[in-house]
A and B are shown apart, each in its own frame.
Chain A
Amino acid sequence: MKNTLIYIDQENIINSIELLEVARQIHADQEYQSFGLLINQQIENKYLGEFDSIINIKDQNIKSYDQLALTDVIEELQNEYQFESIIIPATHIGRMLAPRLAMRLHVGLVADVTEIKKDEKSLELIRPAFSGRIMAGIETNAKKPIMLTVRQNVFTHHIDQNKELKMINYQPNNYNKAEIDLLEKKQCELSYDIRESEILVSGGGGALKDFEQIKNLADKLNAEVSASRKIIDDGKASRNIQVGQSGKTVSPELYIALGISGAIEHVAGLKNIENIISVNINKNAPICSLSDIVVVGDAIEFVKKLANKLEKN
């Protein structure tokens, strides 16, 4: 029976649990048990239902941000359970913990996995590289455990049957504590920075007549609003949401360009964007050649229609 360990990070608990799907895709071909590692956290069993076991550690000396202690603890668990794979969410902590642990265990590590290709012979872990310009399929050498961090909110796990959850209360024997203290913790301020946005709904000259509509669509997509020069010049929005040479450079995962022709001035502000949808009356507008989907037509009409569609579903 093979064991797999999933590190449940309090930064993103639900997504950590979703990683059961990754375990399934890696081990589906044989019998395996999934272990979830829970350190100083209280989570209702109903959420944990899909794990075979939860290794539950309660030890206030282990700080969630102490990667030295965490590494020691997981190494100890590895010696005990001989995990076939260790799966860690690519959170702020996860991305520091995983490499350290991999080095400790002398195994390879694949970061930010977004897709898994598995056949009888090989396991290929796929991740974006070059700021998402290409996807790289990566194999690790035979050494176990297989280690990977997983891009957040990519995999979703479908609960089929609720198992009998085994709760293992565990007290690690020896670990070193790092000399680090959390002095303060405060919310990031809400006023958004389009350079950090994951989804941008961006308006240009073609959306001038009713720029407000764009906000409406953005809300439905949990996206932020950005704009091209024309909108700013028209005083419809402030310069700090302007994309382009004279504005900001953005690299969201999705960019919806509404009535933006894509003059070099604007395109200069678009960097390594994986998905671009452009809406333009001119299907030859420069931006269209950079787009995955070109919707030929009026930007505002499109916004209303898509917003409706999102409403309904």
Chain B
Amino acid sequence: MKIICLVKYVPNVEDIKYDYEKNILIRDNVKLILNPDDACAVAFALELKEHQPEHEIEVITMGPKSVKPFVEDLLRRNVDKASIISDKLFAGSDTYATSKILSHYLKDKEFDCILTGTNSLDGDTSHIPSQIGELLGLNQMSNITKIDLARFKKTKAVIEVENGENVLTYAMQLPAILSLRKESDYKLPYIEYENMSLDVSDRLDIISNQELGLAKEEIGLKGSLTKVVNTYNKNFEEKDKVVVENNEEGIDFVYSFLKKKGFV
């Protein structure tokens, strides 16, 4: 079985800065981490391969070239192949343009299943999986907390989904796009000591728009249908706290705060 893992490296929200003049992210010196939901997708794929080594896993990610050392570590964990889709031209792409770029690369590929995460820590729209599903004509499911390893077959997967209220078990035809959630708790295996510095360059492709050949109108800001026009700061730094006493006044203040925010 050929499995594609679609992952994203996201800035660690801890040390993220935002340029409020230009309305762009400042990603320099921001530590990148593998998006937790996506990590579960790769972790499940590797667990599957652990049981049945014949499975082939390719990781695909779109982002800055600085993700290379992280992707190399996935290859050192027994992922077969990885592609980093990276090009300055892609900068500023919204989810619509991003889905088009990724689908353009995916459309000629052979695979039985695409595993990915549900939400990303940064964008948090969870648009990409279902939009790629639309573009590739595949079904898709989000919020997966369990994939039945034993019943994971070339043409069918049995999955558990949590929608907040219920745990729903579905049988889904493959190929399809399965989006996991970090609560699924699939853990990436350790990198073996011998492989810590393993040269994996022969299994890693960096793909620019040269190879993809998308028209400039389709990608980046030009190809995007939405754009961020304003940002409103949220507790990046110390909040300008209101200090109140523990008296009726203070309680009233707290109460109206809760009311205003819709907590009561």
Chain A interface residues (CB < 8 Å from chain B):
11, 65, 67-68, 71, 91-93, 95-97, 99-100, 102-104, 106-112, 122, 124, 126, 128-141, 143, 153-154, 178-188, 196, 199, 221, 253-254, 271-272, 274-277, 279, 283, 288-298, 301-302, 305-306, 309-310, 313
Contacts and interface: CB of A to CB of B under 8 A. Distances in A.
Does more than half of chain A's interface fall in helix, strand or loop, or is it mixed?
Answer: mixed
A127 to B, nearest CB: 8
A254 B261 contact: yes
Interface string B127-147: 111110111000111110000
A286 to B, nearest CB: 11
B217 to A, nearest CB: 12
Given A96-B130, A188-B164, A293-B254, A221 B264 contact: yes
Interface of B: 11, 13, 16, 18, 94-96, 99, 121-131, 133-135, 139-143, 158, 161-173, 183, 224-236, 238-239, 241-248, 250-255, 257-258, 261-264
Nearest to B18: A134
A153 B231 contact: no
A293 B250 CA distance: 10
Contact of A292 (B11, B164, B241): B241
30 contacts: A68-B139, A96-B140, A99-B127, A99-B130, A100-B140, A103-B130, A109-B125, A111-B124, A111-B127, A126-B230, A130-B13, A130-B124, A131-B121, A133-B234, A133-B236, A134-B232, A140-B226, A143-B225, A181-B171, A183-B171, A186-B167, A199-B263, A275-B257, A275-B261, A289-B238, A291-B239, A295-B246, A297-B245, A305-B251, A309-B251
B255 A310 contact: yes
Nearest to B16: A130
Given A134-B18, A180-B173, A294 B244 contact: yes
Closest 5 CB pairs of A and B: A297-B246, A108-B225, A137-B230, A179-B173, A92-B163
